[in-house]
Amino acid sequence: MIRVACLLALAIALPAHAADYPVKPVKWVVPYPPAGTTDVLARIVAQWLSEKMGQPFVVENKPGAGNNIGTESVVNAAPDGYTMLLVNPANGINASLYKTLNFNFIRDIAPVAGLVRTPNVMEITNSLKVTTVQEFIAYCKANPGKLNMASSGSGTSVHLSGELFKSMTGCNMVHVPYKGAGPALIDLIGGQVHVLFDNLPSSVVHIKAGKVRALAVTSEQREPTMPQLPTVGETVPGYEATAWFGIGMPKGTPREIIDKVNAEVNRALADPKMRERLAELGGKSIAGSPEDFGKIIAAETAKWEKVVTSSGAKVE
């Protein structure tokens, strides 16, 4: 009887706990330094969640090892709803890029909510005197191994978008990984590196200010906010790469908490002002259920495994 009473008390307590959630600040781990797309998106959405859910959602930047340090910290966190991960393409890419990891992302992280999908943008330093993708390819082939291709880190969509470009065009470029998009952009602006396939949200301000020169977007269709930019695929048929972002929590987090966060994120993505703000950054909503986001993770993991294999991409 005592055991039955304890089980009944637990069953009653769980929904009550979820109904009260959150009762303290929630840590949102962004596995990159400040100023990159993951950081920008997290801070926009964190402000909404903080205001609507009554507790601070605190962004904590935890870069390193191609985002694996931040991801592993969430995998090992208590599954109580108070630690979240900004999920991004590297989480799908790293499964095949790294020979050994201390976790299995699909097994160990519970999908909570999709946020947005964004194109990457192929941009170059202003000192490089080319203005089109075709001119860039010609220059690269005339100067093999002399161009430095920056990325926000090995295994990111920024890195693999460049590797896909290299494998489809025969361009021989030196990969220079940084610890996030912010440092990579600083060196691109300064001319220390020549090209970057950055997530559009973190680069759009610099493009509009003329600090770097955008050549094309990596999506299948042109970006509505920058319709003058062609797609890479218009020059390199079949080329397509986009970045996607969402929220994950440690496996075992109560479903009631996951559903509560999912519902509030979907409300945010349906808000006209929020949609407009994200659209200005090139972001298109991928709102849906936790299962919908799980399907995106699985599909992207399979897609990038093929790119890693065909391109021969390696972790520096």
Distance separating alpha carbons of residues 183 and 153, to the nearest angstrom: 10
Q: How far apart are the first and last CA of the chain?
A: 60
Could you give the domains of the chain? 23-118+242-311 (3.40.190.150), 119-234 (3.40.190.10)
Cβ neighbour number for residue 277 with a 10 Å cutoff: 13
SS3 state at 165: helix
CA-based Rg of the chain, rounded to a whole angstrom? 20
CA distances (Å), origin 200, targets 37, 122, 135, 211, 214: 8, 9, 22, 14, 10
The H or E element containing residue 274 is helix 272-280
SS3 state at 189: helix
On the CB side of 141, CA atoms within 13 Å amount to 12
The secondary structure of residue 67, as a DSSP letter, is G
Q: Which two structure tokens, joined as six digits, stand for 305? A: 């495994």
> Exposed (0-12), middle (13-18) or buried (19+): which is 2, by Cβ within 10 Å?
exposed
Kindly report the pTM of this predicted structure: 0.82
Task: Per residue of the chain (316 residues), give pLDDT as tens.
Answer: 444 444 444 444 444 467 899 999 999 999 988 888 889 899 999 999 999 999 999 999 999 888 999 999 999 999 999 999 999 999 999 999 998 999 999 999 999 999 999 899 999 999 999 999 999 999 999 999 999 999 988 878 899 999 999 999 999 999 999 988 889 999 999 999 999 999 888 898 999 999 999 999 999 999 988 999 999 999 999 999 998 999 999 999 999 999 999 999 999 999 999 999 998 878 899 999 999 999 999 999 998 898 888 777 777 5
